[in-house]
Chain A
């Protein structure tokens, strides 16, 4: 079956530091890949997505590239802010777009 593995947190960074959160996946077929973010006390928000190999998703300074050869979808941001403190979830959907499989989540804490 499908699975998603994320680096464990928490990740603690200083403001303006570079961020990488690793995500690898196992899936059959051609899944779509997503990053969702959960701010404290809120639900999940879609951060970015990629639907095929070599696609790059980007939003709010965050980027992730769909790498089929390494089955990865690492999240990066060049300069984090305190307001980026949240839990980040990597996820994939099956080829039909129905089932979402989530990674374990990575908590990011950014200090001023």
Chain B
């Protein structure tokens, strides 16, 4: 059974700091991995999708990496801003078109 774990559960950093969020999964036979952002009481916003054949994806200040063999992904946020404060969720997709299996999320707080 695929399990997805995110560490830490919560993180507080000062504005301007670079930071890394971690995601691990138990079964390396994934189709793709997505990172999402969720603001309190809101739905999920897709940030980055990495196909199983890819090693990383970048969007602006965000960079996500994938190491399938070790079952790990990281989300790197450069020069953090207070507006980055949110919960970040990673999710794996085992099949094309199938369900996402989510981690519990990392709640990020960026202090001005």
- Co-complex (A, B): no
Give the B-binding residues of A (Cβ under 8 A). none
